[in-house]
Structure 1
Amino acid sequence: MISFDVFDTLITRTTAIPSGVFALMQDELRKNSMYFDVPEYIRENFVDLRLNSEVLARKSYCNGALEDITLHQIYDALAMTGTLEEDIRIKLCVLEREIEYKCSIGIEQNIDKIKGYIKQGEKVVLISDMYLEEDTIRKMLIKADPIFEKIKIYVSSGYGKTKGSTNLFWAVKNIEKAEFSEWTHYGDNPKTDIQSAERLGIKAQYLKFEPLLKCELKALKYNEKNTFIQQTIGIARNTRLFYGLTAVKAIGSTIGGAVLFPYVWWIIQESIKKKISRLYFIARDGFILKKIADIIIKELGYQINTYYIYGSRRAWRMPSFNKSNSDVELLLNWSHPNNIKTIIDLADVFQITESQLISFLPNHYKKIKCFTAANFKIIKENLAANNEFKEFLYKIHENKRMEVIKYLQQEIDFSDDNMAFVELAGSGYTQLCLANIISEFYHYPIKTFYFKMDRVHKNVNCRFFDFLPSNLYLHVIIEMLCRAPQSQTIGYKEIKNKMVPILGEEEGRAIIQHGIYDYIEGIEWFTQEYVKLIQSTDIKPYKLELLLKYMDYIAKEPDKEVMEFIGGMPNSVTGRENKVIQYAPALLRRDIINIFLKRTYESIETYYTGSALDYSVLRSNDRNKKLIEFCKKNHDTFIGKFSRIKKILVEGRYQQGLQYQIPLDMIGKRIILYAAGNIGQSYYQQLKRYNKCKIVLWVDKKYEQFREMGLPVSNPEEIAKYKFDNIIIAVADKKTADSIREELMSKGIDAEKIF
């Protein structure tokens, strides 16, 4: 004989945990007028009362001879409140059966096992420890599959015996005249289905039920009564169970789906309200979003068409540069300026050659190898005021602008304003550039949906719809949940009279190798199952409770699998990188020492290539975390000071973007800064910004040249007129520095004051 357990073996619920049924009942009691005759005390506290009444019923009725209780006995216990008449008790019992039936769903892979045994001629029975009646359980089973119409069901509430005590197995043996040695039992409970059966000599087969993940358990904590969270987590768990999703697929179905589905649902509902019939999902973040939208639209029959548009900041920003969009400073400020460290970097932002850019720079900046904050600011202001440079940019990108226009006109229906673009996150600047490009032939404001914008925008050419106006911690994580199996769009070219996008190569391959297709598959399965739930319930999918809990979980305390998937995701920060980098790369020992011990005020990008240092710290092993704490603790001690001096002496040069250190005993002193080159300008900006010392004088023999650049540099002869505590020689070349030192000492300045 073959026997099967029922709940979480053959059928399960659409809620995360069984008490989710009571939460759904409480919602129904509160909002449905047909239950307003139920006392308000019961309606408002139903979940807690129902759970505790079951405990009381078990304590009262399970006295040895009786091992399990019935649904009616639970409501007898609830009636001890003194507020339930018999007709109300019956009404609540009926409601619980209805909700249980509505929430039940079959586990097909295990039902198929039963079909296989019946086909082989085996005798099959079902055995369940449950307070619900046999008839109710049978209805739930038949809903899953009609094969259960005639299979015998043994329920503990009907026999007063349970599997846990083995007495229900004995009852089945006697009725079915079966032998334990010729009996196989399947179930999901290690104790009642496996251990109890094996004690009798029954061959037990464990059918593992899909457990809730750490993020789901954390989200449920203190939220068991939240029906939205209960049902959404239930769908994610069941999706993993039904389709055997593990690893990256499970991350997609559990977190990716739960976070991105509400956004896409909101877009679709807003589009219906705003009479938007065409949605253009912009690469690359729009790739997964479109897949979700297409499933929703198809299954629910919405009259909205979706399209995928290849575009990027790289493809659209510079081609948009013209007389009405010529703010160079704004362009650079929205181009990750901390990553612009050299003339080559700056030229790449403008998408011109190094030699072309140098021709527009003042002579004394043409040979700068790396920028300080001061000279970058001056260069930026100089270029912003250079109309000849702006005209050059406009002309050199004119062909690219025409290519963009040709591609957009080919792919987008501009006939009316019943369309909108879909983005994920950002400043909105690239969309402003897009609006500028198409303004020549499209005279409506362009509408764009965003999951999260970085700024509040008011612009006549653009209308932004922001799903989550916020400043989420490590907000770029949302982009890691929305990667596409392709590199960024670089530009466009014409092939056989059709404009096609030019894509990068390396990052797209790296994203595919990282498992993006498995992740997307998980999201698609979740979306399919969630749409089924929407069709059968009144769930509001755009609620933010679970999304925010998951975002917080991912950012602050992810499990290792999630952390490695997110942190290791290939992610170009600026779109200008020439190699693949990770969102939050694991830190090596040398990285930790440079960042947390040797670094002072220089930008983090000097040492760190990722987008989220805090997340890289999370990814560190215990040994490296201890090293990080040690470096932080000793940054301002002798150890930190010595390491920074040693770095300068050993390297004999200054790294790109480095803000140079001063001894701690100079803090608060009067300083004369000698030399106004790159290093001198870096020192000057550092000391002025952080107000650590008082700069009484800044000198250089080429002071007239630097004054023309707007820098307050004086003749070294002025030193004699000032009172000071120390002189800092801001020169990298040792011979030059020694020469300056000797010259100062020859004028009677104490060698101990010279650094």
Structure 2
Amino acid sequence: MIAERLKVEPEYSDLADQFVEQRIRAERMSRRNASHGETTFDAIYEQLAISLGLTLDRCERMKAMELKTELDVSIPIMSTIAEIRLLLEQGMRVVLISDMYHSADFIRSLLHQCCPDIASRCKLYVSSEHLKTKGSGALFHHVSEVEKAPLSRLSHSGDHPQSDVMVPRRIGARGTVRSEGVLRSWEKPAVERSVRCQILSGRARQYRLQGKSLQAQIGYSIAAPIFAGYVAWVLRESEAAGIGTLGFLARDGYLLSRVAEKLQEAGLGQGISIEYVYSSRAVWRLAATTSETYESTLNWALLTEKETTVEGVMTRLGLTSSDLPSADPFVVEMSRADAWRLAPLTSKRQAALKRVLLRQEMAEKSLAAAAKQRDLLLRYLQDKGMLSTQRTGIVDVGWKGSSQAALARILGEDRPINGFYICLASMGKRVSASPMQAFCGPPDQAHFNDAWIGKWAPMVEILATAPHGSLNEYSEDEQGNVIPVLDEQGLAITAWGYDDLVQGCLDSVRENGELFQQESFRTDSIESLRQFTNLLESPWLDKEFAECIGRFPFSPDSGSRTVGEIGPIISLRNAVAFLFGNQRTRNEITIWPNGAGIRSGRAARLVLSGNTAGGLHSLFLIARGRIDLLVPLPIKRYLMQKLPLPVIRFIERLLLGKVVSG
């Protein structure tokens, strides 16, 4: 933060780039040179002056700048202040102890800034003044002597597990930890040396200390930096392209559209009309279907996902069970015990259903439904201002641009629409007349690739969903207005607490809008996305966080009637099935194995942990004679480049167990 202030001061701009590293080094060196193990603010700057070649005058002004910055950004921990006030009211003697290189006078000025009553009533002991530290225990002994209180009567609390808990206990005092002021894993800065990220981190902690729900904290600390940076980029790109209207596609565009409105209130992209558009890939794909593309749409509808049924396929084609030919043997079979609605769509049933749906009369019914949805969609978009003479754009999270491709087929090349996404898969449905742009484009695309999207897309969509159901179809009300017809999945999302997440995100955008609007924040925003996914797979993830995210309602199949949890508590049996199952089996058990493991019992958690899972899977591959799969890919590539082909073939046969010795 000091370095950023130095950049805007012409006299010090030459020092800004090296300040952070040299400041850290100066503190380390001054501590090393101190025989008593503690240093002072003046000693640090003496060392810094030598390293940077500062004159006495420049050194003093830099010291003043750092002290002012400390005063500007320090925030009180109200729960600690409240507890101290309560102890004082009860007549307890309270002293304040700090391991800090700043002087006691400066620490007292910080206290006067937030709690003058405590500053005036409590004695203060600072390590830099007494040259004794809590970490060594010497400062506690000193306080005991001065206050004439035996160590056994000293009850100390602080946020450092060693200096504030273990050391007091070791010398006979009582030590308890106070964790309120410690940054939670989801509050830590995405870029350690980014001033913006440090400010956001401090404000996120302060937001939590106001008693906000964990969902609200996630919205403030995680969703806001990711989505505000993305939406700010969308607004800037849209202004540059002359886009007049942006349609944020449901459901992932719900929170994004709310963020856009907040950024506009702060002055960004105010000339652009923001519209929230109820949409779904299934409905738009059906609306784009013609006689030439019917079979392609049919094949897409037949894709087997978890719990896909005949009813699910029919819905995707705009049909109902009453549209089926009642005399067909397959239809007769599926009519028994309501099987068309309940029975899973096996490969055999899939082939039989495809035969029925390829009949001309079935195709005509589906195409009629497609034409109706196409007409309603165009009227709906017209009402939203999406078909005006100005260029328009659509905004989504990702990942293949299917909705944009469908809309492009409906509108034709004469009316191109720009598409904006956080990430795009390499196999996305590109449309030449309708450009697609990815926030995490080159060079970040090397990290946010197809494998990343396949693994993390559902988890990102948790943050960017909506407190309402998915679009089933477009319809008309009694006045002839086009209205969206939604399912009821939004009820579970609301029950989880998504409204709190939205509020937390919007609170953050309101308080930090000046940071999010900066063009250079794009890098911090992308790093925030990377940090979020790293947090999700961390073995040290807070259980409280895992419980909250793990309970989020989720269904792998958009047409499924069953809604489970994205990281459910699982049994040992399911953990083992996950370990050795194929991708479909894994998805049926959990989308988020790390969270599920943290929430589950010890045995399941052990199986799902990285080292155990890797070891068991290795044994499994060896047992199946697939030792070749244990060789890391980079080593395989290196060997294939260096070794002669006959040797490579022999090694392959050896690893596959096809070479028998003897």
TM-score by length of 2: 0.70
Gaps of 5+ in 2: 335-342, 442-448, 625-662
> Cα deviation per residue 1:674-711 (whole Å; 9 max; x = unaligned)?
xxxxxxxxxxxxxxxxxxxxxxxxxxxxxxxxxxxxxx
CA contact (8 A) 1:236 1:253 kept: yes
Taking a change above 3 Å as real, the CA distance of residues 115 and 492 of structure 1, as seen in their structure-2 partners, is: farther
**2:403 aligned with 1:430, yes or no?**
yes
Query: Which of 509, 519, 543 is 2:491 aligned to?
Result: 509
Query: Which of 53, 56, 67 is 1:86 aligned to?
Result: 56
For 2:348 and 2:159, locate their aligned partners in 1 and report how far apart those are by CA, in whole Å.
67
Taking a change above 3 Å as real, the CA distance of residues 495 and 146 of structure 1, as seen in their structure-2 partners, is: farther
CA contact (8 A) 1:340 1:346 kept: no
> Cα deviation per residue 1:320-375 (whole Å; 9 max; x = unaligned)?
3235x7253256348744458664443233131346456899x8999699766588
Deviation at 1:168?
Answer: 8.4
Query: Which of 44, 62, 72 is 1:74 aligned to?
Result: 44
Query: Which of 44, 58, 67 is 1:97 aligned to?
Result: 67
Query: Which of 371, 375, 387 is 1:398 aligned to?
Result: 371
- Match in the other structure for 1:736: none
**2:274 aligned with 1:306, yes or no?**
yes
Q: Give the SS at the match of 1:474.
A: helix
> Cα deviation per residue 1:17-70 (whole Å; 9 max; x = unaligned)?
xxxxxxx334555786532555xxxx655434323422443454565xxx9644
Taking a change above 3 Å as real, the CA distance of residues 297 and 83 of structure 1, as seen in their structure-2 partners, is: same
Taking a change above 3 Å as real, the CA distance of residues 100 and 282 of structure 1, as seen in their structure-2 partners, is: same
Report how many aligned residue pairs link the two structures. 592
Letter of the 1:104 counterpart: S
- Match in the other structure for 2:530: 548
Query: Which of 444, 451, 459 is 2:422 aligned to?
Result: 451
CA contact (8 A) 1:425 1:451 kept: yes
- Match in the other structure for 2:12: 35
Query: Which of 260, 263, 268 is 1:296 aligned to?
Result: 263
For 1:312 and 1:632, locate their aligned partners in 2 and report how far apart those are by CA, in whole Å.
41
For 1:488 and 1:419, locate their aligned partners in 2 and report how far apart those are by CA, in whole Å.
23
- Match in the other structure for 1:51: 24
Deviation at 1:478?
Answer: 0.9
For 1:611 and 1:201, locate their aligned partners in 2 and report how far apart those are by CA, in whole Å.
48
Deviation at 1:278?
Answer: 3.7
Query: Which of 491, 501, 517 is 1:519 aligned to?
Result: 501
> Cα deviation per residue 1:700-752 (whole Å; 9 max; x = unaligned)?
xxxxxxxxxxxxxxxxxxxxxxxxxxxxxxxxxxxxxxxxxxxxxxxxxxxxx
- Match in the other structure for 1:475: 456
- Match in the other structure for 1:273: 240
Query: Which of 213, 219, 222 is 2:184 aligned to?
Result: 213
For 2:242 and 2:91, locate their aligned partners in 1 and report how far apart those are by CA, in whole Å.
59
Q: Give the SS at the match of 2:562.
A: coil
Deviation at 1:444?
Answer: 2.7
Q: Give the SS at the match of 2:43.
A: helix
- Match in the other structure for 1:417: 390
Q: Give the SS at the match of 2:474.
A: strand
Letter of the 2:284 counterpart: W
CA contact (8 A) 1:457 1:464 kept: no
For 2:229 and 2:43, locate their aligned partners in 1 and report how far apart those are by CA, in whole Å.
41
CA contact (8 A) 1:240 1:253 kept: no
For 1:125 and 1:389, locate their aligned partners in 2 and report how far apart those are by CA, in whole Å.
83
**2:468 aligned with 1:486, yes or no?**
yes
- Match in the other structure for 1:572: 555
Root-mean-square deviation over aligned CA pairs: 5.3
Q: Give the SS at the match of 1:233.
A: helix
- Match in the other structure for 1:11: none
Q: Give the SS at the match of 1:458.
A: coil
CA contact (8 A) 2:462 2:552 kept: yes
CA contact (8 A) 2:95 2:125 kept: no
Identity %: 24
CA contact (8 A) 1:265 1:541 kept: no
Deviation at 1:211?
Answer: 1.6
For 1:37 and 1:89, locate their aligned partners in 2 and report how far apart those are by CA, in whole Å.
14
Query: Which of 312, 317, 331 is 1:350 aligned to?
Result: 317
Gaps of 5+ in 1: 1-23, 175-179, 639-755
**2:205 aligned with 1:233, yes or no?**
no
For 1:76 and 1:503, locate their aligned partners in 2 and report how far apart those are by CA, in whole Å.
67
Taking a change above 3 Å as real, the CA distance of residues 318 and 630 of structure 1, as seen in their structure-2 partners, is: same
Taking a change above 3 Å as real, the CA distance of residues 593 and 49 of structure 1, as seen in their structure-2 partners, is: closer
For 2:594 and 2:177, locate their aligned partners in 1 and report how far apart those are by CA, in whole Å.
39
For 2:307 and 2:178, locate their aligned partners in 1 and report how far apart those are by CA, in whole Å.
57
- Match in the other structure for 2:380: 407
Taking a change above 3 Å as real, the CA distance of residues 120 and 562 of structure 1, as seen in their structure-2 partners, is: closer
Letter of the 1:515 counterpart: G
Q: Give the SS at the match of 2:472.
A: strand
User: Which range moves more in the overlay, 349-358 or 121-130?
Assistant: 121-130
CA contact (8 A) 1:582 1:610 kept: no
CA contact (8 A) 2:314 2:321 kept: yes
Letter of the 2:603 counterpart: R
CA contact (8 A) 1:261 1:527 kept: yes
For 2:183 and 2:223, locate their aligned partners in 1 and report how far apart those are by CA, in whole Å.
16
Letter of the 1:72 counterpart: D
Letter of the 1:623 counterpart: A
Q: Give the SS at the match of 1:289.
A: helix
Q: Give the SS at the match of 1:490.
A: strand
User: Which range moves more in the overlay, 141-150 or 455-464?
Assistant: 141-150
Deviation at 1:306?
Answer: 3.0
User: Which range moves more in the overlay, 264-273 or 483-492?
Assistant: 264-273
Letter of the 2:561 counterpart: N
Taking a change above 3 Å as real, the CA distance of residues 123 and 276 of structure 1, as seen in their structure-2 partners, is: farther
- Match in the other structure for 1:25: 2
CA contact (8 A) 2:553 2:566 kept: yes
For 2:439 and 2:216, locate their aligned partners in 1 and report how far apart those are by CA, in whole Å.
26
Taking a change above 3 Å as real, the CA distance of residues 587 and 195 of structure 1, as seen in their structure-2 partners, is: closer
- Match in the other structure for 2:647: none
CA contact (8 A) 2:330 2:352 kept: no
CA contact (8 A) 2:159 2:181 kept: no
CA contact (8 A) 1:169 1:197 kept: no
Letter of the 1:288 counterpart: L
Larger Rg: 1
CA contact (8 A) 2:308 2:560 kept: no
User: Which range moves more in the overlay, 271-280 or 481-490?
Assistant: 271-280
Taking a change above 3 Å as real, the CA distance of residues 581 and 126 of structure 1, as seen in their structure-2 partners, is: closer
- Match in the other structure for 2:635: none
Taking a change above 3 Å as real, the CA distance of residues 53 and 445 of structure 1, as seen in their structure-2 partners, is: same
Q: Give the SS at the match of 1:444.
A: coil
For 1:554 and 1:352, locate their aligned partners in 2 and report how far apart those are by CA, in whole Å.
40
Deviation at 1:466?
Answer: 1.7
Deviation at 1:109?
Answer: 6.1
TM-score by length of 1: 0.63
CA contact (8 A) 2:125 2:143 kept: no
Letter of the 2:397 counterpart: L
Taking a change above 3 Å as real, the CA distance of residues 129 and 630 of structure 1, as seen in their structure-2 partners, is: closer
Deviation at 1:577?
Answer: 1.0
For 1:113 and 1:553, locate their aligned partners in 2 and report how far apart those are by CA, in whole Å.
32
For 1:168 and 1:527, locate their aligned partners in 2 and report how far apart those are by CA, in whole Å.
47
Taking a change above 3 Å as real, the CA distance of residues 357 and 446 of structure 1, as seen in their structure-2 partners, is: farther
1:664-703 equivalences under 5 Å are: none
Deviation at 1:284?
Answer: 1.6
Deviation at 1:482?
Answer: 2.0
- Match in the other structure for 1:319: 287
**2:606 aligned with 1:623, yes or no?**
no
CA contact (8 A) 1:130 1:155 kept: no
User: Which range moves more in the overlay, 613-622 or 187-196?
Assistant: 187-196
Taking a change above 3 Å as real, the CA distance of residues 296 and 429 of structure 1, as seen in their structure-2 partners, is: same
1:184-223 equivalences under 5 Å are: 208-214=179-185
> Cα deviation per residue 1:274-299 (whole Å; 9 max; x = unaligned)?
34454332222122223333333324
Deviation at 1:517?
Answer: 2.8
Taking a change above 3 Å as real, the CA distance of residues 490 and 382 of structure 1, as seen in their structure-2 partners, is: closer
